[in-house]
Amino acid sequence: MQVLKTGAEWQKIWLQSLQSQKIIGFVPTMGALHEGHLDLIRNSKKSNDITVVSIFVNPIQFNNQEDFDNYPSLIKEDLALLEKENVDVVYLPDPQSMYPEKPVLSMHFGDLESVLEGAFRPGHFSGVGIIVSKLFNIIRPHQAFFGQKDLQQVAVIKRMVKDLSFQTEIITVPTRREEDGLALSSRNLRLSKEERDASLILIESLNLAKNELLAGKDWLAVRNQIQQKFEDEPLANLEYFELINPDNFQVIESIAQSKASSICVASYIGNIRLIDNLPIIP
């Protein structure tokens, strides 16, 4: 496994892979790796000759400085995991090499950034778009792998790839969960035992709402039921619980309104913000 700090180091390997007609898979991460990340890596290794994993905590996608400052950093442990998974290349740039100057560019994603994560985290998707664009320009992968847990982020990246004509196929990998259903997230490391127990309200609410909808219950009634459930949990502070069309991320009021539908949720558990989603009609 090669650990690279600069794009110039990767350029030499990329030229060799180009000459050898190697297919490159890419998994961008912010570190604090878990089994969900490893699922992405394993999917890449199945369909690509070379798998590259980046670790970079991107400062411009955080609109909360405290959240950025507290984001888990486990580089030594992450590298050991990647070595065990037989990753070919780890790209580990420092902030100065990625942002020698503060970016003046911003990205806008229309209606995609006006709801849910975009509404509650202004500027977040611009930061995501800029860093993913930079990484795609450096790595130039044939395929890139992202988790379904960040469903709106995947939609934004797919839009960016389409609009900017990146020659990269975006592969979405299903959410990996703990045995009790909690979606794996690097942020879970920051939960206390009490908060970890309380965090199950996300998946419990998603499952309950899905079952109620499929049984024919009205969405407004379902959402009111879920909001009361969150109000009854003292450690939870619900931001949104919405039924959406995953193709365009528009909020809908009935599963009959769209060929596909998913429920998305975001909530603080204590001081930790968690998100999750569940397809109703894939």
The verdict on whether residue 129 carries a ligand-binding annotation is no
List Cα–Cα distances, 144 to 56, 59, 171, in angstroms. 16, 21, 6
Is 11 annotated to bind a ligand? Reply is: no
* 51 touches 44 (CB < 8 A): yes
Q: Do the strands 272-281 and 250-251 form a parallel or antiparallel pair, or are they unpaired?
A: unpaired
- 36 marked ligand binding residue: yes
| 61 annotated to bind ligand | yes
Q: Annotation-wise, does 34 bind a ligand?
A: yes
32 annotated ligand binder: yes
Report H helices in the chain. 7-19, 35-47, 65-69, 75-84, 95-98, 117-120, 124-139, 151-164, 193-198, 201-214, 219-231
What gap in Å lies between CA 24 and CA 44, rounded to an integer?
9
33 a known binding residue? yes
Q: Who's near 8: CB < 8 A, 6+ residues apart?
A: none
Residue 35, annotated as binding a ligand: yes
149 annotated binding-site participant: yes
* Amino acid code (one letter) for 200: L
Active site residues per annotation: 37
User: Is residue 153 a known part of a binding site?
Assistant: yes
- Cα(147)–Cα(27) distance, integer angstroms: 10
Question: Would you list which residues are annotated within the binding site for ATP?
Answer: 30-37, 147-150, 184-187
Question: Would you list which residues are annotated within the binding site?
Answer: 30-37, 61, 147-150, 153, 184-187
Question: Would you list which residues are annotated within the binding site for beta-alanine?
Answer: 61
Question: Would you list which residues are annotated within the binding site for (R)-pantoate?
Answer: 61, 153
